Structure 1
Amino acid sequence: MADTSIGTPEQLRDPNYTPPLYKAVPLGIQHVLAMFVANVTPAIIVAGAAGFGFGSGSPDFPELLYLIQMSMLFAGLATLLQTITIGPIGAALPIVQGTSFAFLPIMIPLVAGKGVDALAVLFTGVIAGGVFHAIIGTFIGKIRFALPPLVTGLVVTMIGLALVRVGIQYAAGGVPAIGTPEYGSLLNWSAALVVIFVTLGLKFFARGMLAVSAVLVGLLVGYVYAIFTGILTTDAIAASWSNAAPFALPVPFKYGAEFSVAAILGFCLMAFVSAVETVGDVSGITKGGAGREATDREIQGATYADGVGTAVAGMFGAFPNTSFSQNVGLIAMTGVMSRHVVTCGAIFLIVCGLIPKVGGVIRTVPIEVLGGGVIVMFGMVVAAGISMLSDVDWSRRNMVIFAVALSVGLGLQLEPAAVAGLPDTVRVLAVSGLLPAAFIAIILNLVLPEELAAESTEEVAGGLSGRETWGKQPEGIPLETPRH
């Protein structure tokens, strides 16, 4: 319910309304609390996949701090693009930008086990994908027909499924611990479970800011638990704090640039999915906050900001930025549509991004504690995809499209060695599972007739079940699954 003490109902629905500063600042920080953990987590996951930055004594430790710092700084700058706007860039709406989980299944294979050296290829791909994403803004309205909920819901579900393994590995002790006696210990899992239980308790039984920042509070409780149980020592915290600078500016092309067809294609193809997600978020904001449909100008401006924000971020060592869906729900909950509230949150993020000591503290969060948080977050990604799929009309045609795309995509994720004979570029794209699944779903959705012949569906099912009557229903029962 909207807080009418902040303004009149008409003012609360106006993106250009500026609430009193003493109310705007806490509301802006509330937006940051809702997205903070999800925003910095991809940097930690990519560093872990590449195999650097863990432990304050690691020679690559400063690199991880830098990636965390850039995640905060450029999330804030990209958010300012959306709220303040520059020409056609930005929607002039309260859109919170942050590091996208969607690109992780592309980024992890690119850097796996390659250390800091792999970042040149990665960030070159980020820049190219950002430029392509901005170009999509010029024709975003014309390609929406090719990406219905069947496709986007499948892709979002696949993103979550690709990442849930990471959450379990973190909760068990992290990838570096695999094969050691500590991996999967009860102590490790106890830290993760503390985070999960606290997060769920706050999410369902608390109200206001506590409920909004449930994951963050859960991590803080898990952090304290880790100190008391000896998983984390105060010496490690002090070393992390002292080794981080009090202030630092971003460095352009810090990791250089290296051309890779696989990286560029992967980021460009995922830009389509990210663009359509942004369209959904913009529509959710205008409906939830103002009770109206988003305009073409708002959708186009938001897509431009996504792309430009990502391209600029890549130049300084930050990951792709996109609109954050959790903040869409926060706007609907508070009823405050003011873009200037989100601007306050963006400034807070920028300040944090210029202070590496903030990143130093974040990095001391034990991997087991972080595992509890990402299990919840990645599970929510899967749930979001399933929610999008609930809008699909589950005809026989759509079921076949979904089945084939999911089987190939998930199968390649589970068994990457199956495509070992492919050229390196194609193999990297294939083992993500995401891109093959999206490609198959898009193509089949465009070329298959609206309703498959009953005989063809029955023939496929008969081969699976041994019954020629599969797909037939008793009289009076509709063939399609009812939509809920």
Structure 2
Amino acid sequence: MANYASLGTPEQLRDPNFTPGLHKAIPLGIQHVLAMFVSNVTPAIIIAGAAGFGFGSNSPDFPELLYLIQMSMLFAGVATLIQTIGVGPVGAKLPIVQGTSFAFIPIMIPLVAGKGVDGLAAMFGGIIIGGIFHACIGTFIGKIRFALPPLVTGLVVTMIGLALVKVGIEYAAGGVPAKASNNPEYGSFLNWSAALVVIFVTLGLKFYAKGMLAVSAVLVGIIVGYVYALLVGILSFDAVSGSWSNAAAFALPQPFKYGFEFSIAAIIGFCLMAFVSAVETVGDVSGITKGGAGREATDDEIQGATYADGIGTAFAGIFGGLPNTSFSQNVGLIAMTGVMSRHVVTIGAIFLIICGLVPKVGGVIRTVPIEVLGGGVIVMFGMVVAAGVSMLSDVNWNRRNMVIFATALSVGLGLQLEVLNMAPGAPNALQYLPDSLRVLAASGILPAALIAIVLNLILPEDIDGEPMEVSGGMAGHRND
């Protein structure tokens, strides 16, 4: 592992306002970008695929896909600057890296599924209003944490991961099954081999490499998979050169490029998921101050971070960017390096903004074969599930909590499997609900979260230490 002690004294390294020399600060800032880069642009590619955008450089949707990728980079950088520099009470003034959130993907997919550009207006309307609501949460975030214990937050994070793992398998096999009829190689060994190369390289670097290679394992894995795809013919050099030449060298974001539409389902969905994102940010801020400075986060830092989360999301939505949140992988990076400087992360934010203003960067990213991306997201989405399970490990598994978890998981996961896997036009369990409620319920995450929150608030505490008998001879016990 790299030696970071030479950057400054222990007191300096724990100070958010300390700036190492630029010859050291710039590589550290770029390291933060490498750690989050793939995770940041992946949601844009997933949403574009769900909307039905073509991925070829000759596709009429190519500029739209390129624009979504461009905005993901640009507004991750802008939102990060809001966190690190701060504007009055907005921003924690800590080394918090912002990026496009996976948590909102299960909400966004039903809004845009198969609708092309026409489905984006309602989605971005929800993002803007949801972002404003998210910022408002900052005024009372400390007062609602009691309603979101690890039982609830762990369940929601696990559900988000479970909703996404299917996407990784589909991408690794060669795309989306609905389009498999146009892709005779869907599920072939060739496609899977590209995904497996990414997975093996990522795991190898994560566990056997040190320093920057370990931190950017997913990115390096995708680069190796990209080269492999070129060598075996999954991707052609003509496609790469075409994407590069068809992308502009510089472009500014366009406000309300896809319009603005009030959709009750979108607004409710984004506002409810804002609670989850806010709690995640509270955890990340606490992790940064503990790992980097050995102290608890202050109320002003938590409040400022939540304000910045929401304002960054609303601002991104105006220009066609997806919801932003703090990135946990960068929290771990701060704990590893021990460098608490917010100015280091500011350098990384500037790098992201520059990339977002150069569509040619997005053009190259767009050429990453879906099979290669699948290998990366299998690892990333699996880690989301693992993070949820880790949070659930803090739960006292008595009879009460087991019933809450079982009920919420059964309803939420059941709706995901039953509704989202139905063929178009086929009857489903939610077909008699109004359109807005059906979109919200189909994700499974929101019903599960609401059930868990309500039951956790109204059910009495289980003071009986007796185990709860369940089928198969298993029993749940208190961890007293």
TM interval, shorter chain, is: over 0.9
- Provide the secondary structure at the position in 1 that maps to 2:99: strand
Cα deviation for residue 3 of structure 1 reads: 1.6
CA 1:63 to 1:449, structure 2 compared with 1: closer, same or farther past 3 Å? Answer: same
Q: Can you list the C-alpha shifts for 1:171-203, whole angstroms capped at 9, x where unaligned?
A: 000015424431100000000000000000000
Work out whether 1:118 is the aligned partner of 2:119: yes
2:91 and 2:305 in contact (8 A); partners too: yes
Q: Can you list the C-alpha shifts for 1:80-104, whole angstroms capped at 9, x where unaligned?
A: 0000000000000000000000000
Aligned with 2:327 (options 324, 329, 334): 324
Work out whether 1:92 is the aligned partner of 2:93: yes
Letter in 1 for 2:31: Q
Work out whether 1:480 is the aligned partner of 2:475: no
1:53 and 1:62 in contact (8 A); partners too: no
2:465 and 2:478 in contact (8 A); partners too: no
Work out whether 1:366 is the aligned partner of 2:369: yes
- Provide the secondary structure at the position in 2 that maps to 1:382: helix
- Provide the secondary structure at the position in 2 that maps to 1:385: helix
What is the 5 A alignment of 1:11-410? 11-175=12-176, 177-179=179-181, 180-410=183-413
Letter in 2 for 1:359: G
CA distance, structure 2, for counterparts of residue 322 and residue 209 of structure 1: 23
2:467 and 2:478 in contact (8 A); partners too: no
1:53 and 1:63 in contact (8 A); partners too: no
Equivalent residue for 1:437?
Answer: 448
- Provide the secondary structure at the position in 2 that maps to 1:14: coil
Letter in 2 for 1:215: V
- Provide the secondary structure at the position in 2 that maps to 1:79: helix
CA 1:217 to 1:455, structure 2 compared with 1: closer, same or farther past 3 Å? Answer: closer
Cα deviation for residue 421 of structure 1 reads: 1.5
Cα deviation for residue 455 of structure 1 reads: 9.2
- Provide the secondary structure at the position in 2 that maps to 1:5: helix
Sequence identity (%): 80
Letter in 1 for 2:180: I
Cα deviation for residue 418 of structure 1 reads: 1.4
Q: Structure 2 unaligned runs (5+)?
A: 420-427
CA distance, structure 2, for counterparts of residue 409 and residue 10 of structure 1: 47
2:398 and 2:467 in contact (8 A); partners too: no
- Provide the secondary structure at the position in 2 that maps to 1:98: strand
Alpha-carbon RMSD across the aligned residues, in angstroms, is 1.5
Work out whether 1:450 is the aligned partner of 2:448: no
- Provide the secondary structure at the position in 1 that maps to 2:5: coil
CA distance, structure 1, for counterparts of residue 467 and residue 21 of structure 2: 64
Q: Can you list the C-alpha shifts for 1:449-473, whole angstroms capped at 9, x where unaligned?
A: 1107689955xx4xx56x9xx859x
1:177 and 1:183 in contact (8 A); partners too: no
1:99 and 1:320 in contact (8 A); partners too: yes
Q: How many residues align?
A: 469
- Provide the secondary structure at the position in 2 that maps to 1:64: helix
Cα deviation for residue 350 of structure 1 reads: 0.2
Letter in 2 for 1:257: F
2:398 and 2:465 in contact (8 A); partners too: no
1:412 and 1:432 in contact (8 A); partners too: yes
CA distance, structure 2, for counterparts of residue 71 and residue 471 of structure 1: 46
CA distance, structure 1, for counterparts of residue 346 and residue 466 of structure 2: 57
Q: Can you list the C-alpha shifts for 1:115-139, whole angstroms capped at 9, x where unaligned?
A: 0111101000000100000000000
Letter in 2 for 1:183: Y
2:313 and 2:324 in contact (8 A); partners too: yes
CA distance, structure 2, for counterparts of residue 361 and residue 334 of structure 1: 30
1:173 and 1:368 in contact (8 A); partners too: yes
Equivalent residue for 2:423?
Answer: none
Cα deviation for residue 4 of structure 1 reads: 1.6
